[in-house]
A and B are shown apart, each in its own frame.
Chain A
């Protein structure tokens, strides 16, 4: 059924169609509308056989989900930013225990300075936590990825993080095709856990493991993620047959067939990049874009194949490995057969800074001209940074950096 709804509502509806049994909710922007939507469905009875629990922190949210999943219930929660960090210990624990919890991460920056707007720092901080991480390009894909996530996670006994750009997707009203309950029921079988807390067959879950077996346990976690790489493409095909559209999979390539420059990105910025590329194509530039849907496990072979003919790669990424550069770029370099110098990291859109077609076109032109640095920051206000550095050189007590910059800027509203 076609609907014009908010991204968060689309996700809430999709999760409800997956018949979750335990939902834990703790508010944090920009995720909040999702659990609000689900809470109303549970309280009104529209979503039956489901417990909606208002917890006291994100740490508790993930912990309640752990208990519920270990007891055989399909568990869901959503978070963002500081909330994801606050639950980080439990996030690792959920994957270590092999519990197929599904969690939406409405991607948002991490403070300090506190910032509620979109970038990918939150999800990237947890990239090695053992969860599968899927990134949605638009609200339709966000909706579809949740339906796929429950099945994928439960098949592999692994938790799945569905990442969608905060505000840009969560708060955007778009047309989405909402599947029917019958379609979802046919796609998603009931949760059959590998092990479960059951008085009829008592098991101990979460025992202490010493050096004699810890390596092997961790290896098996890696092997499960590698298995996901094998399963995901086939399931994307199956999803297309069942629901009639392309969603999920490992990657999406756009106009890369004959491209010698390939842009790599994750999430909603792919739309802007495609528009920019269309314009450059009209001018005869051989440029295309590779969208990464599945970031963990990292689809090494698929990315390598997709980049095989590219002579230069530009990674547009919404997170910064402070002291290194690009996180996605580092991953891309492992998958690129050519020189590492041909892979450029462009840090963009941190803390909600707009990524415009004009700026992207400028960066891509620089890449084509061979003048793009290995690491650059899109639309960085160099003068502002220089003033802050000068202030630090001049006086020891130069004060808080963020506040000093805001003072330099004066009225900032016009700049956003």
Chain B
């Protein structure tokens, strides 16, 4: 059995209170040094998981690097809602170039820093799942393969939300999107492997790969800090619910993210040089229905003609994750 550090949870909510943690493990949320690198006033939707994830990830990276950070951003919601010209939410040096080239732009920035003798300045690249697993995949794989000194942050909400909820290669099985309609057989997205980006990143043998959700922000921050202890290519895949695209209440973003982890739909782990080194165990395993039911994108599984068969197949996917990563002690 792998070693797991003790985590403190408050009864009922599963969240961690800062007051229960040692000072060095506390969130920068409660910290006067917090940089607010994505400042208030941006135009993300209410309950946006991506805005939350990016806010914690970038602030943690700023803290880890002593504010010596440059960010490259893919086209997508995060780019659009944060920089409606001439306004910007970014308190870090930030560049948006294109949809599919963010990892390569970050490589160029890192090369410039190296040649100027400023390798103390670190580089993050960030994008949504479409910009990462689909159109930006070539540049991302190239950056991994060369082991360029870049931390890539993927905010995965499982579809192209900025263009109106179209399917990406990260869209889960059976999910309804604008291009995987809830009609035909099977209704919603196909059942298949999709692109398991964390596993693909690990296959490149890069120093650090991890997954996180916005339900456990402390864990997310810790992984950003850990990533910044390495040189070379690093990948952090962050699960960020999208109330608009998934059809759940804005106040349920955290709950949905937590259910994704607690059902095994989204495995949370860390890997170094291609090997898993730690997993976040499921505390109280729940059936996938609990995760699927609050989301309108899965409503066709629960309607007048419930699709127990499809739900069972999704459960199989979750069970496979649980087995593969040892998410439940048994």
Contact = CB atoms under 8 A, between A and B. Distances in A.
Contacts of B142: 55-57, 60
A63 B139 CA distance: 9
Contacts of B97: 63, 66-67, 70, 90, 93, 97, 206
B86 A66 contact: no
Contacts of A53: 107-108, 111, 146
A224 B146 CA distance: 37
A358 interface: no
Chain A: number of interface residues, binned into ranges: 35 or more
Contacts of B106: 67
B255 interface: no
Contacts of A59: 100-101, 104, 138-139
Contacts, number: 159
B88 interface: yes
Nearest to A70: B95
Interface string A35-64: 000000000000001110111110110111
B80 interface: yes
Contacts of B204: none
Given A198-B93, A199-B67, A208-B85, A68 B98 contact: no
Contacts of A199: 67-70, 92-93, 121
A73 interface: yes
B325 interface: no
A251 interface: no
A406 interface: no
A204 B71 CA distance: 9
Given A56-B145, A60-B139, A89-B98, A68 B93 contact: no
B67 to A, nearest CB: 6
Contacts of B115: 21-22, 49-51, 73
B104 A60 contact: yes
B113 interface: yes
A191 to B, nearest CB: 11
B330 to A, nearest CB: 42
B88 A207 contact: yes
B101 A66 contact: yes
B93 A202 contact: yes
Given A56-B145, A59-B101, A63-B139, A202 B94 contact: yes
Interface in B272-329: none
B116 interface: yes
Interface string B61-77: 00000011110110000
B96 interface: yes
B84 interface: yes
B203 interface: no
Contact of A63 (B67, B83, B98, B112): B98
Contact of A197 (B83, B109, B138): B109
A63 B103 CA distance: 9
Contact of A202 (B79, B92, B139): B92
Contacts of B104: 55, 59-60, 63-64, 67
Contact of A21 (B72, B112, B121): B112
Contacts of A204: 83, 88, 90, 93-96
Contacts of B121: 199
A207 B101 contact: no
Contacts of A307: none
B91 interface: yes
A93 B98 contact: yes
Contacts of B146: 53-54
B107 to A, nearest CB: 5
A22 B109 CA distance: 10
B36 interface: no
Interface of B: 67-70, 72-73, 79-80, 83-86, 88, 90-98, 100-101, 104-116, 121, 138-139, 141-142, 145-146
Given A62-B101, A210-B84, A210-B85, 14 more contacts: A21-B115, A22-B112, A57-B138, A57-B142, A59-B104, A60-B138, A63-B104, A66-B97, A67-B111, A71-B113, A197-B109, A199-B92, A202-B94, A206-B83
27 contacts: A21-B112, A22-B108, A22-B112, A22-B115, A51-B114, A51-B115, A55-B104, A57-B139, A57-B142, A59-B139, A60-B139, A62-B101, A63-B98, A67-B72, A67-B106, A67-B110, A68-B111, A69-B112, A73-B108, A73-B112, A75-B108, A199-B69, A201-B93, A202-B92, A203-B93, A208-B83, A213-B86
Closest 9 CB pairs of A and B: A67-B108, A63-B104, A56-B142, A63-B101, A71-B112, A73-B112, A206-B96, A67-B105, A68-B108
